[in-house]
Chain A
Amino acid sequence: MFGAVASGELAFPILSMLILVPVGGAVLVALLSARRPEFVKLAAVLTSVFTGALSIWLTIAFERSAEGFQFVSRHTWIEQWGISWYLGVDGISLFMVLLTGVLFPIVILGIDAHHKNARQEKRYLAWMLLLQAGVMGSFLSLDLFMFFIFFEIVLVPMYFLIGGWGYENRVYAATKFFLFTMLGSAFMLVSIIATAVLARDNGVGQITFDLVVLAEQSNFAASTGRWLFFGFAVAFAVKVPIFPVHTWLPDAHTQAPTAGSVVLAGVMLKLGTYGFIRFGLYLFPEAAWWSRSLFLTLAVIGVIYAAIVATMQSDLKRLVAYSSIAHLGFIVLGTFAITTQSLTGSVLQMVSHGVSTGALFLMVGMIYERRHTRQISELGGIASVAPIFAGFFMVIMLSSIAVPGLNGFVGEFLILIGSFPTARWWTVVAATGVILAALYLLWAYQRVFHGEADEANRSFPEIRAREVAVLAPFIVAIVFTGIYPKPILERIEPAVVTLVQHVESRSGFVEPVPGAVAGTSDQEGN
């Protein structure tokens, strides 16, 4: 049922294009002469805008209620090992692909990264495009080996972006980021290879890295599946990050340039949560079901713990970074609760979190541009000096603290209401995270925007037209998703339903039916 349905296939391989266009752009940017920076910039902008346009087209062309993968592209690569260039998109990956497509042009066009010279700008743009290709590839790969390659490729540009364009402590942060994630990936590599090899003797019959074949045909013994799952889980846990392997993130976020932080929060961290859903649940449903209490517990600890630590941060960017960890805990909660609502909520929240936290980092970057500080104590009274700027920040903040009518609420609410039947007490505790989110963000807002502005803050410039243009898409996404999420939900849901059924068929898990007692009408067919 999760088979590669070739529905809605276009005449040309759009998914391959989504990866290859930014790769080509990166190569082109690298080859162009730094003496003509305008050409370099133009090439980068055009490439990223074209990729963004492709991702929008993909979203429109995506068949909304079809099950299985769409726009599948498949070419045998290394036949004897069963490795192929195998791409596909379904409701779980669609909106992350869209976000990846759209976020990069905004970042490349909208954020001034302060390059020392044209050569540096050239490198920056090349890394950005390569990063986009890597993230895109990770979301589109249906071959474990290819997924691993893309998953790893992503590290390199991000490492250089933090190390080359970051703040005072950038080398430490970049190294920490790199080693942390590499360590996780090492586990995953072992697991990937072992999965392919062991699956041969456990139902598949040949060595293959084909995700769909492995998931549908393998019949690992419970203990084998659990070990294999563990290898994946370590890599994803670091990437998300889940408590207690989260400490690389605040450093990476704080030290990264604004563009790096936006991309990191916007799409890169989602490789972890996406990985849990796509590879964890799908490949190893029994192991995921078996280990759920561990992950639910860590997720809930993350929600509460990161929120408490966020409250006491003195660095605004670090505060947002910790809030990010808290929000991602919700996504992990929804993933391991394995109900239709909770998983749909998790997938939606991946996008919503990318939008709202990405926008928060953007605005923190704008504050830094103006005041050259991230210290909350050095800011204050900005709402009186720059009310429109404060208004934008307010909307994004409200989205982040999950106020209904904005995007953050839809995801978190679906996660919580979906998780309640299968993970009751975890959900009850996690819901208190909503109180803490209000506490740390409103307190930070008060210290930054309320009160009287001192000498240094009195000249805080009001928001500029270009900044409005950069933030506008975020605001539109925040409000639209909050008020009318149906177009998104109805595209996510079929994939999630299939996944839940897959888990049910391969583990002891049974999705509870809400209202079974009161006997309400079943609207599943709508």
Chain B
Amino acid sequence: MAELVWLIPAFPLFGFLVLLVFGRRMGEPGAGYFAAGMVFASFAVSVGAFFDLVGRDEAERSEVVTLFSWLPVGSLQVDMAFLADPLSIGMSLFVTGIAGLIHLFAVGYMHGDPKFSKFFLYLNLFVASMAVLVLGENLLVTFLGWEGVGVCSYFLISFWHRRDSAATAGKKAFVTNRVGDWGVMTAMFLAFGAVGSLSYSAINSAAESGSLAQSTATGIALLLFVGAVGKSAQLPLYFWLPDAMEGPTPVSALIHAATMVTAGVFLMVRVNPVLAVSAEYVPTIIAWVGVATALFAATIAVAQNDIKKVLAYSTVSQLGFMFLAIGSGAYVAAIFHMMTHAAFKALLFLGSGSVIHGMHEEQDMRKMGALRIAMPITAGTFIIGWLAIAGVPPFAGFWSKDEILLFALASSPALYVVGLVTALLTAYYMTRQVIMVFLGTARWESHAEEHGAHGEFKPHESSPIMLLPLIVLAGLSAVMGIIQLPSFSWIPKDLQYRLEHWLHPIVAFGEASISDTSAYANKGWFALLAVGIALAGIGLAHLVYSKRSLPVIEPQIMADGWRYDATISDFMGGPGRRSFEGMVALDEKVVDGAVNGSATLVRSLSGQLRRGQTGFVRNYAAVIGIGVVVMLLWFVVGRGVL
């Protein structure tokens, strides 16, 4: 089955092509179900490939499927090839699985949209690109998917492009991502120059065998990290992601939470041997960028009132956790958190979509409240997602976040403290959201007229097709921790570290690498501390937003995202724009001005030549003729030719 991995991108690509031609005729809901079917077909292939690999010996769990030679020029030989190994198959399992659920949700969510089939066309193309990204055998195939998901993200963010904000957000996302793409491209140049190949196996084995110089490895690692910062919305390039919420909510769930934005994390894990031989400051930089982003975004999330913006900043923050894991050497934990996060964040986004749907396109949480009664299933599943992200055991997020914090502590107490504060804030802002949306008193009645619902306005529960994915994702968010349980004595041995065993030897070292630290020795206590922090965050938010016994602290500067985005916009619109305009003036006045000056001179000369002539053709012939004769004469007389 592993040799059929090419089918994983092929199904949704086929779906894209079919929808391109017949999409409008298939209409609603046919196009949606068809698209979902294609993605579930990919999921089925992923499952098959998974069991195929499970059945093999660890050393045999890697299969390269070469379709054709893509860029063969001299020593550069790049194949269109896919790599089926535990990492890529694990990734495609959760990517196609969650994508399928989100497709189903979207059938309900996009109901009545005039561009219904087009939405699924883009969605299928996205899944195909994402599959190419994770299955790529070399950096260039991954880059094909990498740019492909970027393009789809652009299409889907600006899906409702009549709205200027949506069009602008799409463009912003693409251009910002391109900054990161510059890093990935340059990393490829460096890797090719040093290794002579772009395939992961060649690059990683060069790193493992020690033939990759440390300076080169450092360059490759840092440049790839630049790409990851762009794609995974880290400081300083995170600002496109909150704006990306302009897209339809299923897009936010699929692309801007569960899959695409984790591509940067995936890439770092894919080349982890290169990270291992790069300079020591490289992991430190990655960890600090990650944890700084995590804290920074969490402080912003605390003060957002848009239901999706909270989740967007939360995503940025959680991605920061994953980079903290990468920088601390916790590659398994990074992938683990990526997977649990995909489940609970997709759940939360879809839940928010369900709320927005039920509230007739209202996104302001200040106009919500008490929706648990009107939307019980949405509320119930959302609460599971909340507990998972807040880090309450036994829900999934607890296990993955705890493992990251453990590694962070082993690598630096400072990282740990910042991570812990972020965890507190996470529990706090998520509790705030749950209270504002589902608990408390209903505030939507007084805003009824704003929703355009004349007379009676009543939020309603969503249709079964939308609720089914919520229930499945809630189930996953609850139990997904089981794939990587830590080595506590009360946990059965064969349930411990399953993901780590699965990813071995792609990720060579797991918790063994920190087993001699005091953090590891006392990990039970630290786990308890993490639980305490999560509960403290929840309790604090309860006191502030439910009991109202503590003051609300939501300063405007935090609501404005520390004015980071605004500063960049001001710069682009101000000095940036002016310098571009200065360049245009330079081109027109100086460069072309010099030219026009001499052109005027030449024109006056040719005008004199024209005096004896009648037409352009003769004038031309004359110029050429005289010129040729003069030069030939010069050669004959001056140089003695002939």
**Chain A residues with a Cβ under 8 A of chain B:** 80, 152, 156, 159-160, 163, 175-176, 179-180, 182-183, 186, 189-190, 193-194, 197, 207, 243-248, 305, 308-309, 311-313, 339-341, 344-345, 381, 383-384, 387, 398, 403-405, 409-410, 413-414, 416-418, 420-421, 427-428, 431-432, 434-435, 438-439, 442-443, 446, 449-452, 483-486, 489-490, 493, 497, 512-520, 522-524, 526
B580 — which chain A residues lie within 8 A by C-beta? 308-309, 311-312
**Beta-carbon contacts of B571-612 to A below 8 Å, as 1s and 0s?**
000000100110110010001100110010011001000000
Q: How far is the CA of A194 from the CA of B639 in the complex (A)?
A: 9
The reply to whether A247 and B202 form a contact with Cβ atoms under 8 Å apart is no
Nearest-neighbour CB distance to chain A for B454, whole angstroms, equals: 25
Where chain B touches its partner, the secondary structure class is helix
Nearest-neighbour CB distance to chain B for A163, whole angstroms, equals: 8
A193 — which chain B residues lie within 8 A by C-beta? 631-632, 635
The reply to whether A344 and B74 form a contact with Cβ atoms under 8 Å apart is yes
Which residue from chain A places its CB closest to the CB of B75 in the assembled complex?
Answer: A514
Which residue from chain B places its CB closest to the CB of A182 in the assembled complex?
Answer: B623
B297 — which chain A residues lie within 8 A by C-beta? none
Q: How far is the CA of A340 from the CA of B75 in the complex (A)?
A: 9
B179 at the interface (CB under 8 A from A): yes
B211 interface neighbour in A383, A416, A519, Cβ under 8 Å: A519
B75 — which chain A residues lie within 8 A by C-beta? 340-341, 513-515, 522-524
The reply to whether B584 and A341 form a contact with Cβ atoms under 8 Å apart is no
A520 interface neighbour in B161, B186, B197, B595, Cβ under 8 Å: B197
The reply to whether B584 and A312 form a contact with Cβ atoms under 8 Å apart is yes
The reply to whether B147 and A404 form a contact with Cβ atoms under 8 Å apart is yes
Evaluate whether A404 and B148 lie within 8 angstroms (CB atoms) in the complex, with A514-B76, A526-B77 already known: yes
The reply to whether B77 and A451 form a contact with Cβ atoms under 8 Å apart is no
The reply to whether B623 and A438 form a contact with Cβ atoms under 8 Å apart is no
Q: How many A-B residue pairs have CB under 8 A?
A: 210
The reply to whether A434 and B182 form a contact with Cβ atoms under 8 Å apart is yes
Evaluate whether A405 and B196 lie within 8 angstroms (CB atoms) in the complex, with A180-B595, A414-B71 already known: no
Nearest-neighbour CB distance to chain A for B108, whole angstroms, equals: 24
The reply to whether B603 and A518 form a contact with Cβ atoms under 8 Å apart is no
B76 interface neighbour in A176, A341, A519, Cβ under 8 Å: A341
12 contacts between A and B (CB under 8 A): A189-B631, A193-B632, A248-B595, A312-B583, A341-B75, A431-B185, A439-B178, A442-B175, A486-B69, A490-B72, A515-B194, A516-B196
The reply to whether A442 and B174 form a contact with Cβ atoms under 8 Å apart is yes
Q: How far is the CA of A186 from the CA of B186 in the complex (A)?
A: 40
B171 at the interface (CB under 8 A from A): yes
The 6 closest A-B pairs by CB, nearest first: A515-B196, A450-B167, A420-B189, A340-B74, A247-B592, A520-B196
The reply to whether B74 and A156 form a contact with Cβ atoms under 8 Å apart is no
A515 interface neighbour in B68, B143, B178, B192, Cβ under 8 Å: B192
The reply to whether A431 and B182 form a contact with Cβ atoms under 8 Å apart is yes
The reply to whether A308 and B583 form a contact with Cβ atoms under 8 Å apart is yes
Which residue from chain A places its CB closest to the CB of B114 in the assembled complex?
Answer: A384
Evaluate whether A341 and B74 lie within 8 angstroms (CB atoms) in the complex, with A186-B627, A438-B178, A515-B194 already known: yes
B194 — which chain A residues lie within 8 A by C-beta? 514-515, 517-518
B584 — which chain A residues lie within 8 A by C-beta? 308-309, 312-313
The reply to whether A381 and B162 form a contact with Cβ atoms under 8 Å apart is yes
Other A-B contacts than A384-B162, A435-B182, A516-B196, 15 sampled, CB-CB below 8 A, are A156-B620, A163-B616, A180-B595, A245-B595, A344-B74, A410-B71, A416-B185, A432-B182, A435-B175, A438-B175, A446-B158, A483-B70, A513-B196, A520-B195, A524-B75
B144 interface neighbour in A159, A308, A404, A451, Cβ under 8 Å: A404
Which residue from chain A places its CB closest to the CB of B588 in the assembled complex?
Answer: A247
B346 — which chain A residues lie within 8 A by C-beta? none
Nearest-neighbour CB distance to chain A for B484, whole angstroms, equals: 33
Which residue from chain B places its CB closest to the CB of A519 in the assembled complex?
Answer: B211
B77 — which chain A residues lie within 8 A by C-beta? 523, 526
Nearest-neighbour CB distance to chain A for B149, whole angstroms, equals: 11
Evaluate whether A497 and B591 lie within 8 angstroms (CB atoms) in the complex, with A404-B144, A417-B189 already known: no
B196 interface neighbour in A387, A416, A428, A514, Cβ under 8 Å: A514
Evaluate whether A417 and B213 lie within 8 angstroms (CB atoms) in the complex, with A450-B162, A524-B74 already known: no
How many of chain B's residues touch chain A, expressed as a range?
A: 35 or more
A519 — which chain B residues lie within 8 A by C-beta? 211
Nearest-neighbour CB distance to chain A for B171, whole angstroms, equals: 5
The reply to whether A189 and B171 form a contact with Cβ atoms under 8 Å apart is no
Nearest-neighbour CB distance to chain B for A177, whole angstroms, equals: 10
B404 — which chain A residues lie within 8 A by C-beta? none
B637 — which chain A residues lie within 8 A by C-beta? none
Which residue from chain B places its CB closest to the CB of A314 in the assembled complex?
Answer: B584
Q: How far is the CA of A483 from the CA of B9 in the complex (A)?
A: 15
Nearest-neighbour CB distance to chain B for A375, whole angstroms, equals: 16
Evaluate whether A413 and B193 lie within 8 angstroms (CB atoms) in the complex, with A179-B606, A404-B143, A446-B167 already known: no
Q: How far is the CA of A383 from the CA of B70 in the complex (A)?
A: 33
The reply to whether A175 and B603 form a contact with Cβ atoms under 8 Å apart is yes
The reply to whether A152 and B182 form a contact with Cβ atoms under 8 Å apart is no
B101 at the interface (CB under 8 A from A): no
**Beta-carbon contacts of B141-182 to A below 8 Å, as 1s and 0s?**
001100110010010001001101001101100110011011
**Beta-carbon contacts of B539-583 to A below 8 Å, as 1s and 0s?**
000000000000000000000000000000000000001001101
Nearest-neighbour CB distance to chain A for B401, whole angstroms, equals: 34
**Beta-carbon contacts of B176-220 to A below 8 Å, as 1s and 0s?**
001101100110111011111100001000100001110000000
Nearest-neighbour CB distance to chain A for B12, whole angstroms, equals: 14
The reply to whether B178 and A152 form a contact with Cβ atoms under 8 Å apart is no
Which residue from chain B places its CB closest to the CB of A421 in the assembled complex?
Answer: B193
B residues 46-91 near A (Cβ < 8 Å) are: 68-77
Q: How far is the CA of A369 from the CA of B194 in the complex (A)?
A: 52
Nearest-neighbour CB distance to chain B for A231, whole angstroms, equals: 11
The reply to whether B73 and A493 form a contact with Cβ atoms under 8 Å apart is yes
A420 interface neighbour in B158, B193, B595, Cβ under 8 Å: B193
B628 at the interface (CB under 8 A from A): yes
A405 — which chain B residues lie within 8 A by C-beta? 144, 147-148
Q: How far is the CA of A125 from the CA of B596 in the complex (A)?
A: 31
Evaluate whether A489 and B73 lie within 8 angstroms (CB atoms) in the complex, with A179-B602, A450-B161 already known: yes
A311 — which chain B residues lie within 8 A by C-beta? 580
Evaluate whether A517 and B627 lie within 8 angstroms (CB atoms) in the complex, with A207-B641, A308-B580, A417-B192 already known: no
Q: How far is the CA of A417 from the CA of B198 in the complex (A)?
A: 11
The reply to whether B206 and A197 form a contact with Cβ atoms under 8 Å apart is no
B616 — which chain A residues lie within 8 A by C-beta? 159-160, 163
The reply to whether A179 and B599 form a contact with Cβ atoms under 8 Å apart is yes
Q: How far is the CA of A287 from the CA of B391 in the complex (A)?
A: 67
Evaluate whether A398 and B182 lie within 8 angstroms (CB atoms) in the complex, with A179-B603, A417-B192, A514-B193 already known: no
Q: How far is the CA of A398 from the CA of B213 in the complex (A)?
A: 36
The reply to whether A417 and B178 form a contact with Cβ atoms under 8 Å apart is no
A446 — which chain B residues lie within 8 A by C-beta? 158, 161, 167-168, 170-171
B453 at the interface (CB under 8 A from A): no
A414 interface neighbour in B73, B154, B161, Cβ under 8 Å: B73
B595 — which chain A residues lie within 8 A by C-beta? 176, 180, 245, 247-248
Q: How far is the CA of A72 from the CA of B577 in the complex (A)?
A: 54
A497 interface neighbour in B74, B186, B197, B596, Cβ under 8 Å: B74
A152 — which chain B residues lie within 8 A by C-beta? 624
The reply to whether A305 and B583 form a contact with Cβ atoms under 8 Å apart is yes
A428 interface neighbour in B148, B161, B178, B186, Cβ under 8 Å: B186
Among A207, A404, A439, the most chain B Cβ lie within 10 Å of the Cβ of A404
The reply to whether A427 and B68 form a contact with Cβ atoms under 8 Å apart is no
Q: How far is the CA of A311 from the CA of B606 in the complex (A)?
A: 36
Which residue from chain B places its CB closest to the CB of A200 in the assembled complex?
Answer: B641
Which residue from chain A places its CB closest to the CB of B143 in the assembled complex?
Answer: A404
Q: How far is the CA of A166 from the CA of B70 in the complex (A)?
A: 42
Evaluate whether A514 and B192 lie within 8 angstroms (CB atoms) in the complex, with A179-B603, A344-B73 already known: yes
A207 — which chain B residues lie within 8 A by C-beta? 641
Which residue from chain A places its CB closest to the CB of B584 in the assembled complex?
Answer: A312
Nearest-neighbour CB distance to chain B for A264, whole angstroms, equals: 18
The reply to whether A434 and B73 form a contact with Cβ atoms under 8 Å apart is no
Nearest-neighbour CB distance to chain A for B408, whole angstroms, equals: 33
